[in-house]
Amino acid sequence: MSKSSKYKVGPAVPLMIVGIVFFMIGFGVGISGFLTPALRSAFNLTTGQSYLVTAAIFSAFVIFGRPTGWVIKKIGYRKAMMVAFFIMALGMWLFVPSSKAVSFPLFLVALFVGGIGNTVLQGAVNPYITIIGPENTAAVRMSLMGIMNKMAWWMAPLFLGLFIDLADVKVNDIIMPFYIVTGIMVILGIFVYFAPLPEVKAEGEDEDEAAESSYAAGKTSVLQFPHLLMGVFALFVYVGIETLPMASIIDFAKATFGDVPNLQNYSKFVTIGLVAGYIFGVIAIPRFVSQQKALIAFTILGIGSSLLLIYLPAQYAFYALLFASFSNSLMWPAIWPLAMKDLGKFTKAGASLLVMAIVGGAVVPLLFGTIVDAVKTTEVAVVANYQTAYWVMVPCYLFILYFAASGHKIRTKKP
């Protein structure tokens, strides 16, 4: 259960407002994704140097994950969302002088600043949507937000296409669209500040009301919650295996089908799989299955998809990435509420640790690429090299399965 203050509104209004927030998170990710080829071309980056782009974004989650919890505790979820949009606006605006100066270090600064804003936004909006309603439907609300997030991935290139040639992106072309996006972020920050969003709190979150029977009672540190720490690692490996199909599908398609036209269109399989899973979550949870059992089932499906991806002939194995993405869809919505359960006054600090786990989206794909480079015997990686590297997904799924089936229950076991 959660409690709220200041605003007395039904659940539909906050859900719609937070849906807009999730949409903008996805929109920002979609726009940043199209920057990478432009930067690689403009600055003649090597493959290793191109990882600095990802590192600049994800390092913000590690550095500012914990401070985010302190900020949210001081000013609340709604004001934290406002601050996050203003920081993201600054990051978007910094792309303009970066483009004019054609400065790669300044681009990295802009990406890092945008990453700070994204860190604060993720730290505020994810626990907010988890505790705004009943605990057993948290995965449904997160699935709805996931649909909004992935819709924005599709709309980002449509927006950019109004201003630039997506087939030949040049650094100077991005000035006008990023001025516009900066303005949108500022407007959204002001909108969120005045929006009727109730300032919700998890049960026992106020320090003076943690009952003796509460699991959080008597604890002095957020690190004293083993189910949370396991949830952080589960989310770390999950974000990694969710990002991996999107990061690798074009290269795997090229190795499988050759240099066919419009290779980038294969990336739609990842989005289709994720959205289909979100829709399933909205329909089935908790009407037909609990969010915990859904997480177990989808994790088992993920293990099976990984093995198909590894062992099937290439032309069939490729489509296992769609099933892997479908499997991944309900993991974020289900891991969050299981990891956040019974944190009481440590709810915001726990959310900041979970936000730090997003760095897995940089680490696991990097490990995948390292394995590909280690096993290949030719200059260009072949299908078998990618299939060997996809083994990295299996232990990730196995840990998530353990967390879903048993690990999160450790808080209920007597010492």
Summarised one tens digit per residue, pLDDT across range 162-175 is 777 656 667 777 78
Q: What does CATH list as the number for 218-409?
A: 1.20.1250.20
> For residue 147, what are the β-bridge partners?
none
Q: Where are the alpha helices (DSSP H) in 195-267?
A: 226-257
Instruction: Report the candidate in 376, 361, 399, 326 with the shortest Cα–Cα distance to residue 244.
Output: 361
CA quadruple 99, 53, 80, 20: dihedral, nearest 10: 80
Q: Which residues pair with 91 in a beta bridge?
A: none
Judge contact between 123 and 69, C-beta under 8 A.
yes
Do 218-409 and 8-201 have the same topology in CATH?
A: yes
Q: What is the pLDDT of residue 99?
A: 82
On whether the CB atoms of residues 40 and 107 are closer than 8 A, the answer is: no
For 260-292, give one letter per residue: b (16+ CB within 10 A) or e. eeeeeebbebbbebbbebbebbbebbbeebebb
Cβ atoms 357, 233 nearer than 8 A: yes
Residue 256: HSE in the Cβ half-sphere, 13 Å Cα cutoff: 21
Q: Is residue 91 within 8 Å of residue 114, measured between CB atoms?
A: yes
Structure tokens at 249: 């599908």
What is this structure's pTM? Answer: 0.78
Tokens representing 64? 């500012």
Share of the chain residues as helix, strand and coil, in percent rounded to the nearest 5: 80, 0, 20
Cα torsion angle, 90, 92, 93, 97, sign: positive
pLDDT digits over 252-270, tens only? 888 888 877 766 677 778 8
The count of other CB atoms within 10 Å of the CB of residue 45 is: 16
Q: Which residues of the chain have pLDDT under 70?
A: 1-11, 30, 32-42, 45-52, 54, 157, 165-169, 201-214, 216, 262-264, 413-415
Q: Residue 41's pLDDT is what?
A: 66
CATH number of 8-201: 1.20.1250.20
> Residue 201: which H helix or E strand, with range?
strand 201-202
Q: Are 235 and 390 in contact (CB under 8 A)?
A: no
The residues spanned by each domain of the chain are 8-201, 218-409
